[in-house]
Structures are given as structure tokens and as C-alpha cells.
Amino acid sequence: MLIKKIIGNTITTLMLIVFLVVVVAVVVSKASGGEPAFFGYQIKTVLSGSMEPGIHTGSIIALKPGGDMTRFQKGDVITFMNPENILITHRIVDVSINSAIGEASYTTKGDNNNAADMSPVSSTNVIGEYTGFTVPYVGYAMNFAVSKAGSVLLMIVPGILLLMYALYSTWKAITALEKKNNSSAAAEPLPDTLH
């Protein structure tokens, strides 16, 4: 029973540490004006259901940025900037290469959409390739964490929790000392004579 408890606590602690490291990395990256990145992969939040069921709304996904943006083939999933400066992650359904200017043009489509996207995507607008890594619903928390209210909350709540834990630990230590002093005082025999 004790071993199960130790293993459970260890797994929970490790998961919490990994989650906190990811959150801190993303918040620090965003605060410094950069894209949220972790070990060279950009972290993006999916805001629509166009790629469901593979990528759910509110998920975070990992992208591998950089490299030759003309390398993609039919079936690859890419993230690109559309003409309205909105990031979109869709699957390539057709590729046209213009070797004269060294660019590719991709026709894309969301897996959950009935038709291909209206405008082809130039390889110059591609941000990166979807790596297949997705974590459902964490994107909602990440978007909140990088908002002003979320950033403040993420600073204040841990501070309050640490203060409460310190007060609780102090109270437990004082209670234990008082109990020890009371039990040792009760165990000492009273003197036979009074002075």
C-alpha cells in the first residue's frame, strides 16, 4: 500500500513539474515577445474545429518551424498565415511547384471541412509543419495564461498558496511542540515536599 502511494505521488509530482515547465517556457517566451517554443518546437493553440477529429478545438499542437518550405507533399499538415494574418493549420491536398521563382503553392483543406480552402497558400506564408503532437484542451488554459488576467492570476495564486502552506506548516510545528511539552510535563512526578 505504501509503495502504491509513493508511486502515485511520484507520478503526480513529475506530471505537475512537466506541466509547470511547459507553462513557464510558454509564458516567458510570450512575455519576451517571441513565439511560444519548447525545445525548438513552436506551440500553437487550435481555435477552430476544422481539423477535428484529429486535432480538437482548444488543443495545443507542436510545429517544427524552418527549413525548406517547398518540401511539403500532399497529405502533410502545415500551419500558415492566411491573407488576414490569421494562423491556420490544414492538410495539403494539392501541390504546385514554380521552379522559376523557387516557390510552391499549396491547396489546403481542413479535415472536417467539405471543400478545399479558397486561396492557395504560398510557401512563403508557411510557418511550419505539424509534428503530430497534440494535447487536447490545454490550449484554453494556455490562452488564459498569456492574457493579462491569467498572468496576474498565475503570479498571485501560487504566492497565496505558498503563504498558506507556510502558515499551516508553522501551525503544525507549534502544535507538535506544545503537545510534546505537555506530555513531558505530565510525565514528570511532582515533588513530595513543598519548599
pLDDT in tens, 54-63: 999 999 899 9
Q: Please give the residue that has the higher pLDDT: either 19 or 114.
A: 114
From the CB of residue 79, how many other CB atoms can be counted at a distance below 10 Å? 21
Mean pLDDT of 100-116: 92
Mean of pLDDT over the chain: 84
- Alpha helices per DSSP H over the chain: 2-31, 138-145, 148-187
Name the grid cell of 184: 513531558
pLDDT exceeds 90 at position 138? no
Mean pLDDT of 53-79: 91
CA distance 153 to 148: 9
The percentage of the chain sitting over the pLDDT mark of 90, rounded to a whole number, equals 33
CA distance 9 to 14: 9
At a CB cut-off of 8 Å and minimum separation 6, what does 156 contact?
Answer: none
pLDDT exceeds 80 at position 37? no
Mean pLDDT of 132-148: 83
- Active-site positions read 48
Q: What is the pLDDT of residue 173?
A: 86
pLDDT band with cut points at 50, 70 and 90 for residue 108 = very high
Q: Please give the residue that has the higher pLDDT: either 23 or 134.
A: 134
Q: Please give the residue that has the higher pLDDT: either 187 or 132.
A: 132
Mean pLDDT of 97-126: 92
